[in-house]
Chains A and B, each alone.
Chain A
Amino acid sequence: MSKHPTIAEHLEASGVSRRSFLQLCSMLMVTAPVGLALTGKKSVLQVAEAIGKTKRPSVIWLHFQDCTGCTETLLRTSAPDVAHLILDVISLDYHETLMAASGAQAEAALRSAIADNAGKYVLVVEGAIPTRDNGVYMELGGRPAVQVVREVAAQAGAVIAIGSCASWGGVPSADPNPTGAVGVDYVVSGKPIVNLPGCPPNPYNLLALVLEYVTMGRLPELDEFNRPKFAYERVIHENCPRRAHFDAGRFAAAFGDEGHRKGWCLYKLGCKGPITHAACATRHFNEIPGVWPIGIGAPCVGCTEKGVVWRMGTFETVPIHLATPPDTYPPIYSAAGGIKVGAAALVGAVAGAVGGATWVASQRFQSSAEAGVTRVNVDREHAEKLKASAAKPIDKPVFKPVSTPDDKKED
């Protein structure tokens, strides 16, 4: 067997059955039904053929400020066979957790892995990189992590940042970020970098990405945060199995309450699904349906989103950016709006003001009538006085205007 066998040759040599390889290929198709040239619109056999012809991709895996959770997710498959299969498909040439060597031997292994596949290998970075105080907070073989990652990335074909820490800092970058932890794309430039955030991300995303790169020779379409669209284009809320409960307004109000036990929507418990871009809702973990946070009744924490996890309150509810219709309907004729208290008060106040003003004005008119402005009334009063005094029949018209000071002067 040649030094760089194809995947098919290697699998045959290591005794992997055709059946389990096809199962892996179908898992890849489930992982990336769209968005990858490798799996899109192809049958399992076509995918298997394409992968089988390819030389095993050389992968160098570096650890920095991490918890090794991303490595664990790659190894913690539902059956040990699958983990072996994954490690047979890719050639993991350097991985500090999985290799037996240590110290100078390990350093030598890294150097030889780089030299063997210079310009072709895929560098997978796990963990954030400390930058404060010239990166003294993490050193490998006496060299700061920043320097190591730059050196190894310089000769890589592509760089994949696996996990939230390598993508944008993750847990180590949470406030107050004492080590100045940053993601790979902050310190490495000039190389195509793909971020696979998640805590941990689904390992099939990594596998699909690496195989796409080696079979097709290019990286898939990325979003604004350099995340592959096939896995991070949509928010969890869009494909959530509990979405029907959201649309019907059935929410768990507290952990362990009736709604929570019945599997209702976790939005009001602080689920970040509506703002978290990830494919967890459709590609569950460990190849077991339902194995993912929301599936086991734990609200999504938004681990793929820089602005959400460790920056928002765990139980804080999030805004719904894309509100969609509920599963209720308005009636044909909507009920007429009632009279609100404020409106009634306003109308009452205006009516009262008008009424009051009218009354005051009428009072003034009355007083001016008494002052003799309206002559007709005065005439009538005068006539009544005459009647009351039972005066003699009038011989000639008597006109006695209201006397004014000026009139008196003339007299």
Chain B
Amino acid sequence: MAITRRELISTVAKAGVPAAVAMTVGAGSLHAETESIPIPSAAVGLLYDASICIGCKACVSACSEANDTPADTRGDALHQAPSDLNDLTRNIIKLYKPEDGSPSSFVKRQCMHCLDPACAAGCPFQALHKDPETGIVSWTAEECIGCRYCTITCPYHVPRFQWKGFNPRVTKCELCSQRLEKGLEPGCSSVCPTGAVIFGPRTVLLSEAKRRIKKNPGRYYQERVYGETDNGGTQCLYLSRVSFEKLGLPELGPESVPARTLRWQRRLYQYFALPALLYVGLVQVIRQRLKGHEQEAHEREKETGLRAQL
């Protein structure tokens, strides 16, 4: 069947009007969402200075011990040698070592305890939730349905699912809450021999990080603290000599992942314009197709003399 010029113009006009309306409406709200993320009153976190870290991995062992998780010996029967964060590993030291001989760096990876955590935003049942006081993002077994959205939504790929086992859990760093309750600091920071990772209130850590930057001009990458504003701000802060992206910390911008998602989601549904547009478009397609069918049946009837039996 052929679409006549008239029909085409008619369809475009019918579909185009709501679209134009939607675009106009949406454009207004595009930059509207810049709500500031509240910082928990007693936000605690870690400050990791990659330029001080000697890669001794004492924090890795201490983390296993503090959280009573067995050492991951699946890759190497004799050593605790996980290749990444996993169901048994909440804290890991990795090495960035470029082949061209330019400066290498260790990096400690664990949960960032974002001010606006994507894992909690993605969790349909608040199994992952942010403590309103300390800001620690933790997981509770009672709420979890095992959907693993948290493992996908986290921009740092931190929460990990226990794929093996009949009662799997989601594991991630919870800043050793069980130790904090006893007045102890987290396992990793308690054993660090060089002070590369220190624990404390976020405000104190931030001022300490800025003090280090000021004291050592030119030492740190971009002279900035990763996590001050990145991804809406995180409670675990990083200082490094090499670029953060090379250490596996993506440049996410000052807007948090959930905020960005929410902005686009709100825009999609604003005034119900885009769904309406979709509806109109679908109606048009169906109408065109119905017309085609009728025409075809009519032609066959003429050809065969038989009544169309659709």
Task: State the A residues within 8 Å of B (CB).
Answer: 246-247, 249, 267, 320, 322-326, 328-334, 375-376, 379-380, 383, 394, 397-399
Measured between C-beta atoms, what is the minimum distance from B236 to chain A in Å?
17
Q: 29 A-B Cβ contacts within 8 A? A: A246-B78, A247-B79, A249-B78, A320-B73, A320-B77, A322-B71, A324-B57, A324-B79, A325-B60, A329-B95, A330-B81, A330-B82, A330-B94, A331-B95, A331-B96, A332-B94, A332-B95, A332-B248, A333-B248, A334-B83, A334-B84, A379-B304, A379-B306, A383-B306, A394-B305, A397-B306, A397-B307, A398-B305, A399-B306
The docked-state distance in angstroms from the alpha carbon of A311 to that of B94 is 41
Q: What number of B residues sit within 8 Å (CB to CB) of A?
A: 32
Chain B residue with Cβ nearest A328: B81
Chain A residue with Cβ nearest B107: A332
Chain B residue with Cβ nearest A323: B71
Measured between C-beta atoms, what is the minimum distance from A236 to chain B in Å?
16
B78/A267 in contact, CB under 8 A: yes
Complex interface: chain B residues within 8 A of A376 (CB): 309
Measured between C-beta atoms, what is the minimum distance from A189 to chain B in Å?
37
* A332 touching B247 in the complex, CB below 8 Å, given contacts A246-B78, A326-B79, A326-B81: yes
Measured between C-beta atoms, what is the minimum distance from B260 to chain A in Å?
23
Measured between C-beta atoms, what is the minimum distance from B282 to chain A in Å?
27
* A325 touching B95 in the complex, CB below 8 Å, given contacts A332-B248, A399-B306: no
B:82-105 near A, CB below 8 Å:
82-84, 92-97
Measured between C-beta atoms, what is the minimum distance from A372 to chain B in Å?
14
A249-B79, A326-B78, A330-B94 are known; give 19 further A-B pairs, CB within 8 A.
Answer: A246-B78, A247-B79, A320-B79, A323-B80, A324-B80, A325-B81, A326-B76, A328-B81, A329-B55, A330-B81, A330-B83, A331-B96, A332-B107, A333-B248, A375-B309, A379-B304, A379-B306, A383-B303, A399-B306
* A324 touching B61 in the complex, CB below 8 Å, given contacts A330-B92, A331-B94: yes
Complex interface: chain B residues within 8 A of A383 (CB): 303-304, 306
Complex interface: chain A residues within 8 A of B71 (CB): 322-324
Complex interface: chain A residues within 8 A of B94 (CB): 329-332
Complex interface: chain B residues within 8 A of A324 (CB): 57, 61, 71, 79-80
B126-138 vs A: 1/0 string, CB under 8 Å? 0000000000000
Complex interface: chain A residues within 8 A of B248 (CB): 332-333
A397/B80 in contact, CB under 8 A: no
Chain B residue with Cβ nearest A329: B95
Measured between C-beta atoms, what is the minimum distance from B241 to chain A in Å?
14
The docked-state distance in angstroms from the alpha carbon of A35 to that of B215 is 43
Majority DSSP secondary structure for residues of A touching B? loop
The docked-state distance in angstroms from the alpha carbon of A380 to that of B303 is 11
The docked-state distance in angstroms from the alpha carbon of A333 to that of B109 is 12
B48 within 8 A of A: no
The docked-state distance in angstroms from the alpha carbon of A152 to that of B228 is 73
B309/A379 in contact, CB under 8 A: yes
Chain B residue with Cβ nearest A251: B78
Chain A residue with Cβ nearest B306: A379
* A325 touching B309 in the complex, CB below 8 Å, given contacts A247-B79, A330-B82: no
Complex interface: chain A residues within 8 A of B97 (CB): 329, 331
Measured between C-beta atoms, what is the minimum distance from A320 to chain B in Å?
5
* A332 touching B306 in the complex, CB below 8 Å, given contacts A247-B79, A326-B79: no
B83/A323 in contact, CB under 8 A: no
B106 within 8 A of A: yes
B93/A329 in contact, CB under 8 A: yes
Complex interface: chain A residues within 8 A of B307 (CB): 397
Our pick among A246, A320, A332, A397 for the contact of B305 (Cβ within 8 Å) is A397
The docked-state distance in angstroms from the alpha carbon of A20 to that of B303 is 125
B291 within 8 A of A: no
The docked-state distance in angstroms from the alpha carbon of A329 to that of B84 is 10
B14 within 8 A of A: no
A329/B77 in contact, CB under 8 A: no
Central interface residue in B81, B97, B248, by most chain A CB within 10 Å: B81
Measured between C-beta atoms, what is the minimum distance from A251 to chain B in Å?
9
B246 within 8 A of A: yes
Complex interface: chain B residues within 8 A of A322 (CB): 71
Chain A residue with Cβ nearest B246: A332
B:205-252 near A, CB below 8 Å:
246-248
Complex interface: chain A residues within 8 A of B78 (CB): 246, 249, 267, 320, 323, 326
Complex interface: chain A residues within 8 A of B246 (CB): 332
Complex interface: chain A residues within 8 A of B305 (CB): 394, 397-398
> Closest 6 A-B residue pairs measured CB to CB?
A329-B95, A323-B71, A325-B57, A326-B79, A323-B80, A332-B248
Measured between C-beta atoms, what is the minimum distance from A247 to chain B in Å?
7
The docked-state distance in angstroms from the alpha carbon of A249 to that of B75 is 13
B79/A332 in contact, CB under 8 A: no
Measured between C-beta atoms, what is the minimum distance from B237 to chain A in Å?
19
B244-277 vs A: 1/0 string, CB under 8 Å? 0011100000000000000000000000000000
Measured between C-beta atoms, what is the minimum distance from A116 to chain B in Å?
51
B106/A329 in contact, CB under 8 A: yes
Complex interface: chain B residues within 8 A of A249 (CB): 78-79
Chain B residue with Cβ nearest A247: B79
Chain B residue with Cβ nearest A319: B77
Complex interface: chain B residues within 8 A of A329 (CB): 55, 93-95, 97, 106
Measured between C-beta atoms, what is the minimum distance from A253 to chain B in Å?
14
The docked-state distance in angstroms from the alpha carbon of A380 to that of B309 is 12
The docked-state distance in angstroms from the alpha carbon of A335 to that of B57 is 21
The docked-state distance in angstroms from the alpha carbon of A267 to that of B81 is 18
Chain B residue with Cβ nearest A268: B78
Measured between C-beta atoms, what is the minimum distance from B60 to chain A in Å?
5
Complex interface: chain B residues within 8 A of A375 (CB): 309
Measured between C-beta atoms, what is the minimum distance from B91 to chain A in Å?
11
